[in-house]
Every structure is written in C-alpha cells, then in structure tokens.
Amino acid sequence: MVKRSVVFTGGGSAGHVTPNIAIIKEINNQDWEINYIGSKSGIEKDLITKLNIPYHPINSGKLRRYVDFENVIDIFRVFRGCKEARSILKKIKPDLVFSKGGFVTVPVIVAAKTLKIPVFIHESDITPGLANKISKRFATKIFTTFAETKQFFPEHKTKVVGSPIRREILNGSIKIGKRYLGFNDFKPVLTIMGGSLGAKKINDLIRDNLDLLLQNYQIVHLCGKNNIDKSLIHLNNYKQFEYVNEELSDILAATDFVITRGGSNAIFEFLALRIPMIIIPLGLEQSRGDQILNAKSFEEKGYSITVNEQDLSADKLQESLAYLLKNKHKIRENMRTASQFNAISILVKEMTDIIQS
C-alpha cells in the first residue's frame, strides 16, 4: 500500500498543538508519513520532537492587530518563512497540509497553495484567529469546533466537527492519579490550569489562599514554565507542576473540579470528562476576546461558571467553588447530555478521502 503523506503545522501555544498531536497519534500506526512544520523556538518544537516526528523549523513573524515597528520586520520574516516552507514542502511532497492555527502556519499554508497541495484548517474558538482569517482563502476545507464559527468562513467549504480530543485523556485512572499525586479519598481534588504558559494572577490568587483552600480541597497546580514556588514544594496536599504530559489523563481522572482559562481545546476535554469548571478567560487587553466567548457559550449551556480576571478575589473564588460544589450533579448531567462529535474520526476520514480523490 502506498503511504499517505501529511504535514501538520500549528504553534505559539499548546492549544495550537495538542489537537494536531491527537490526530497524529490516531494515524501514527497506520500508513501515513507524518512531518511537522513549526517555529524555531515555540512550544510546538518540544511537544512534537517528543513524539519522534520529523520537525522542520521555519522563520515566522508575529501577527499583530496594532501598529508596531516590529510589524515591518515581521513582514520579511513571513516572506522568509514562506520560502523555507516551500522548500520543505517541495522536498517532502505531502498529499495534504493540516493546520491548527497560530502565526507560524501562514507561511506554510501560502507555500502549500503555490504548490497546489490541499490545505485543511481547523479553528477551535468561536471567532477565528488572525492566522486563520488570513489563511481561509487558501484552504481547501475548513473545520470548526463551535457551530457559531461557521458564519466566519465560506459556507461551501466549512464543516462543524467539534474538538479533536486526545483519546488517551479519556482513559485515565483515578487510582493511579491519586497515587501519583499522593492524595487521599477524603477531600475533593481541585486542579488549576492556567494554560501552557501559566497565569500569574491566577497563580498568585491560589497561593495567597492556600491555607483556606486546603481545608476543603487537595490541589493540583499546573502553573506554567518557570512558575514553581520552591517554598511550597513540601506542602501537604498541594502539588505543583510546570507542565504535565503523560500523567495528565490520570490526574484529570482524579480531578473533581477545575479552574481553567477559556481555551477551547482544554474546556472541551473537561466537558468530555464531565469535570465542572470555573473558567477565567483571558481579557480583551490580553487577547481578541475569543476565550470570553468560549466561556459564555459554556456557561449558557450549564457546563461551567465564568469569573472575569478583573473580578478575581479570595471571596469570588470561594463563592465560585461553593457554587460548583452545590451544583456539581446538575452540571455533570448537563455535560452528559451535551452533543459530542467524534472529531478525530471525522477529520481522519476527511483527510483520507481528499487524498484518495
């Protein structure tokens, strides 16, 4: 059988990489030749090289919505990235390019278009990021997580498929998770995830209120790179990690409640696991507002409650946790009846179909 060849691209944050990883793991033992194009120093490089997937770094400029002299410099970086991506694609000769977004993807998608290579794009959030707004004109097919997102893309090539959830995240063990953490069965487990880069305000709030929180919870704190507080390492029932990979499925299996940012990939995984959540979305001063819309959608469906970062306080945290504790059964029932797409299977079939067509 002739091997099918696909190049994945996406980077800048873990949210632009983990869905790609989910698909890669699905097809890695099949007849696929897999390559990855990413930035030279982004988080995607570390995550992909751990999978022993060939990784090809390129130059890429940051796509900004504001006036900055760096925009001029980055234009040249983007052109250079297009040239590098085109050279890589000409050498690999893939049947398909699959993009998850992030500024590094634009040169790859433009280069693929010039070589007449089909391009698939998946958009996680309700509103598309700038990279996907630019890239949609070059895409062969576009896939979205939210039904609300279809309005931003051409109707004839857009399909709602849900979020590509890593299958292994659904197969964790409560027993193994609690043993790994050193936790008991007497207090619920509260997991805090501020994203792959962490979140200082959330980290500080949790640590400032540890004495009170630990009276009622055992706490897992995924605090981001270089954010470990060494003075708290030996504190009972409080475990800190910069980032968790292999152990995450077991940790989440042991988790009763989660405090999280509003990134689509993460909150859809918590939805699949039926973990009630407090969502603290990035504000407009830090983002385009996509996480605010994601959080609003989930709150309206009864899966979570939202706390805006400017409203964060010890009292608000306690109030929100009390709400989850009181309403956990209702929230889990809402999650149980949620419409769930099998995004990975749909995307793999779409990939196979376009290559065979």
87 and 225 in one domain?
no
349 and 301 in one domain?
no
Contact status, residue 100 vs residue 124, Cβ threshold 8 Å? yes
Pairing verdict, β 238-241 and 218-222? parallel
295 and 348 in one domain?
no
Residue 153: per-residue pLDDT: 96
175 and 128 in one domain?
no
Residue 71: per-residue pLDDT: 52
pLDDT tens sequence across 192-203: 998 655 588 899
Q: What is the pTM of this model?
A: 0.84
pLDDT tens sequence across 51-70: 999 999 998 766 545 445 45
Residues 6+ positions from 148 with CB-CB distance below 8 Å: 126, 297
134 and 64 in one domain?
yes
pLDDT tens sequence across 264-312: 989 999 999 999 999 999 877 777 778 999 999 999 999 999 999 889 9
Instruction: Read off the pLDDT band of 246 (50, 70, 90).
Output: confident
Q: How far, in Å, CA of 260 to CA of 158, rounded?
A: 29
199 and 74 in one domain?
no
129 and 20 in one domain?
yes
Domain count across the chain = 2
- C-alpha dihedral sign at 305, 310, 313, 316: negative
Domain that holds residue 345: 4-163+341-356
Phi, psi at residue 45, to the nearest 5°? -60, -45
CA distances 326 to 188, 296, 332, 336, Å, are 13, 21, 12, 18
Which of 42-46, 112-116, 140-144, 186-190 is predicted least confidently? 42-46
Residue 212: per-residue pLDDT: 94
276 and 197 in one domain?
yes
296 and 188 in one domain?
yes
More confident residue, 255 or 72: 255
The three-state secondary structure class of 62 is coil
293 and 151 in one domain?
no
- Find tokens 């190049």 and name the residue: 7
Instruction: Read off the pLDDT band of 336 (50, 70, 90).
Output: very high
What CATH number is attached to the domain comprising 156?
A: 3.40.50.2000
pLDDT, average across residues 121-125 = 93
Q: How far, in Å, CA of 189 to CA of 173, rounded?
A: 14
216 and 87 in one domain?
no
Q: Is 5 exposed, middle or buried (0-12, 13-18, 19+ CB in 10 A)?
A: middle
Q: How far, in Å, CA of 346 to CA of 160, rounded?
A: 10
Q: How far, in Å, CA of 43 to CA of 11, rounded?
A: 7
154 and 18 in one domain?
yes
Q: How far, in Å, CA of 119 to CA of 112, rounded?
A: 7
Residue 73: per-residue pLDDT: 58
